[in-house]
Structure 1
Amino acid sequence: MKSAKNIRHLTLDELTQYFEQMGEKKFRAKQVFEWLWLRHAHSFEAMTNLSKELRIKLAEHFTLPALQIETTQYSEDGTVKSRFKTVEGFAVEGVLIPNDERQTACVSSQIGCSLNCKFCATGYIERKRNLDFDEIYDEVVLINQQAQRVYSKKLTNIVFMGMGEPLLNYKNVLRAVERISSPDGLGMSPRRITVSTAGVAKMIRQLGDDQVRFNLALSLHAANDLKRNEIMPINESNNIKELIAALNYFYEKTKNEITFEYILFKDFNDSVKDAEELIKIYRQVPADLVNIIEYNPIDAAKFEKPTQEATERFMNHLSKNRVNARLRRSRGKDIDAACGQLANKNSIGVDA
């Protein structure tokens, strides 16, 4: 027997064709589509303007798998971390980061990660699978609901900086962005969405060819190949020279904003010499900003946070050389929700 198809994987045209074949009126397809993407129904039973018979028929022909919130944790600084569970029981995490001007969702694109970055908790988790585009959409919807419930504000920004490498789940990430930004989805501007990559040069170029409208962030974290190879194995096949060329190609094709992300590690990449190497890269790419990020220790890694003096020296050198750099203070460290800490730990949470 052929397995039932996920109804959210159908386009509106495909759904309309299905209803016509069943002898149902075409407008029923639009009703169902709105339940799926505008009203965020997670069951056929919830589609109350459809007849009971039609809902039963849909349940016989289709599945409607959706992410559910398993636990939610609240940080002292207002950050909210959720562990989502997939229909087959895998766990994946997402974070709501609030401040006065923004409500930002940090979302995941994979269950685990295959890149093995040495400073990142997710890098020590085996990649189980990619998230489907509708699961990524669910993350955003659920975090948006949290933002409205906890802070009475809707999401303003989305960053693909959670678990996994977005460009190794390329089609699902692009289709998720399309749904998130569509008027019959969440209607969010692509300019308020940033996809972060550890550096997959071929796929950065593909983003340019596909004329995407969202922003791009490169997780650089070391400004020469020797050091970057040590902490990010992907650099061995995607070196800095290749990444610079790919970023320039991306910008030439899209004119979208590019950001560098650079975590400071004590006695590894926090010297004035390291800052000089970062400046050289910055001047080769039309980057808008360099985010200098506080390191958040994890159990599996040996790295430490630099001293305040070293951080100030590094930042001052960038400023003196007219680099648009910002020191980003980490949020949610007390609940392992900060940059590099997402690891599906078995911690005590609050039911959603």
Structure 2
Amino acid sequence: MKATERRNIRHLSQPELDEYFLAIGEKKFRSKQVYEWLWQKHAHGFDDMSNISKELRAKLAEEFSFPALKIDATQFSEDGTVKSRFKTFDNHLVEGVLIPTEQRKTACVSSQIGCSLSCKFCATGYMERKRNLTYDEIYDEVVLINQQSEKAYDKKLTNLVFMGMGEPLLNYANVLKAIERITAEDGLFMSPKRITVSTAGVAKQIIKLGDDKVKFKLALSLHAANDHKRNEIMPINEANNIKSLVDALNYFYKQTKTEITFEYILFQNFNDTEKDAAELVKLYRQVPVDLINIIEYNPIDAFAFSKPTEEVTAQFMGYLEKNRVNARLRRSRGKDIDAACGQLANKN
């Protein structure tokens, strides 16, 4: 059977595996053993399944594909951040990052190979979107980064953010299925409260998240608090303006009661004035936002902006604090290896 004709074994449910093994005359417990290798013991190929006979492994390999993600290259930052470039079964490349602090070990993962949204400040936005990652590929990212965390820091991942390459809500089904496996007892068993999905703002999909009663946190990549400026740096805003996002976020919160965060990168002489801060405060009052992350801009070659001075940043933060906005300045990690926010682009 050709590889393209074989069904991905991880796309079978436990009952479907049960049915398959019974059909070939195997005991039902073999199905349970294989399922554990797929999702709990994190096999990356049939040969890893050491308690399965060679004959049965060969039969599985003949009937099913097992397109697992593999690490293609790894870079280590001076601050402890680890960036990995993963290779897919069809030879595409995608990046993920381990961000360690004393309190947390966070995986930043990708949901697409490339991106179609063309945000001006994001290196991924200048890449062509090749395809969506499947839910098992996203799961592999988390598994591999967790293994790195355990090896380097002797600690499992504590948090997961979908802030890597691609727009998660344009790969909706795979992202939700991946989170289902990541949070499952027979998966990685991570609490959904420790998972944040970041979106550039797809209003109808935010509403769908509300309808689906998701339990993970949601972050909106805002970066400008009026439509004119947001249109300039984020073309998606032309079809998903701020009012539509406010309405969608309010609906999402009403349905889920889960945390919402605004992400706001400061750009020098663009969105860093007191007037910009005042617009941000006004918007903050319209949505039940738990936190605004003010983010340092990490320069990329294709975008001419730069980050404000420390003094301007302090004044911006001071204005938010004075107006009782829960805001935090997020210092960038991994800049020396192009692993910081907005820098992922599969560079050599």
Instruction: Tell me if both proteins adopt one fold, taking TM over 0.5 as the criterion.
Output: yes
Residues 114-133 of structure 1: pairs in structure 2 closer than 5 A: 114-133=116-135
Equivalent in 65, 76, 90 of residue 88 of structure 1: 90
Equivalent in 132, 143, 146 of residue 148 of structure 2: 146
User: Normalized against structure 2, the TM-score is what?
Assistant: 0.99
Whole-Å Cα distance in 2 between the matches of residues 290 and 165 of structure 1? 20
Whole-Å Cα distance in 2 between the matches of residues 239 and 18 of structure 1? 49
Whole-Å Cα distance in 1 between the matches of residues 240 and 45 of structure 2? 43
* CA apart distance, 1:20: 1.4
**For 1:83-123, what per-residue CA distance to the aligned partner results, in whole angstroms no more than 9, with x for missing partners?**
00001110000000000100000000000000000000000
* CA apart distance, 1:21: 1.3
Residues 40-119 of structure 1: pairs in structure 2 closer than 5 A: 40-119=42-121
* CA apart distance, 1:49: 1.0
User: Matched residue of 1:36: which SS?
Assistant: helix
| Residue in structure 1 matched with residue 259 of structure 2 by the alignment | 257
Equivalent in 34, 37, 43 of residue 36 of structure 2: 34
| Residue in structure 1 matched with residue 300 of structure 2 by the alignment | 298
**For 1:159-213, what per-residue CA distance to the aligned partner results, in whole angstroms no more than 9, with x for missing partners?**
0000000000000000000000001000000000000000000000000000111
* CA apart distance, 1:50: 1.2
| Residue in structure 1 matched with residue 340 of structure 2 by the alignment | 338
* CA apart distance, 1:309: 1.2
* CA apart distance, 1:219: 0.2
| Residue in structure 2 matched with residue 273 of structure 1 by the alignment | 275
Unmatched tracts of structure 1, length 5 or more: 347-352
Aligned letter for 1:277?
A: E
The reply to whether residue 25 of structure 1 matches residue 22 of structure 2 is no
* CA apart distance, 1:22: 1.2
Q: Percent identity?
A: 75
| Residue in structure 2 matched with residue 319 of structure 1 by the alignment | 321
| Residue in structure 1 matched with residue 211 of structure 2 by the alignment | 209
User: Matched residue of 2:161: which SS?
Assistant: strand
**For 1:23-61, what per-residue CA distance to the aligned partner results, in whole angstroms no more than 9, with x for missing partners?**
211111111000010001111111111112111110110
**For 1:252-289, what per-residue CA distance to the aligned partner results, in whole angstroms no more than 9, with x for missing partners?**
00000000000000000000000000001100111100
Whole-Å Cα distance in 2 between the matches of residues 292 and 262 of structure 1? 5
Q: What CA RMSD, in Å, does the superposition of the two structures yield over aligned residues?
A: 0.7
Whole-Å Cα distance in 2 between the matches of residues 335 and 9 of structure 1? 35
User: Normalized against structure 1, the TM-score is what?
Assistant: 0.97
Whole-Å Cα distance in 2 between the matches of residues 256 and 14 of structure 1? 34
| Residue in structure 1 matched with residue 186 of structure 2 by the alignment | 184
Paired residues, what number?
346
Whole-Å Cα distance in 2 between the matches of residues 25 and 278 of structure 1? 61
Equivalent in 226, 234, 243 of residue 228 of structure 2: 226
**For 1:288-342, what per-residue CA distance to the aligned partner results, in whole angstroms no more than 9, with x for missing partners?**
0000000000001111111111111110000000000000000000000000000
User: Matched residue of 1:229: which SS?
Assistant: helix
| Residue in structure 1 matched with residue 9 of structure 2 by the alignment | 7
Equivalent in 167, 170, 179 of residue 169 of structure 2: 167
Whole-Å Cα distance in 2 between the matches of residues 212 and 288 of structure 1? 17
User: Matched residue of 2:73: which SS?
Assistant: strand
Equivalent in 322, 327, 330 of residue 328 of structure 1: 330
| Residue in structure 2 matched with residue 289 of structure 1 by the alignment | 291
Whole-Å Cα distance in 2 between the matches of residues 96 and 344 of structure 1? 16
User: Matched residue of 1:216: which SS?
Assistant: strand
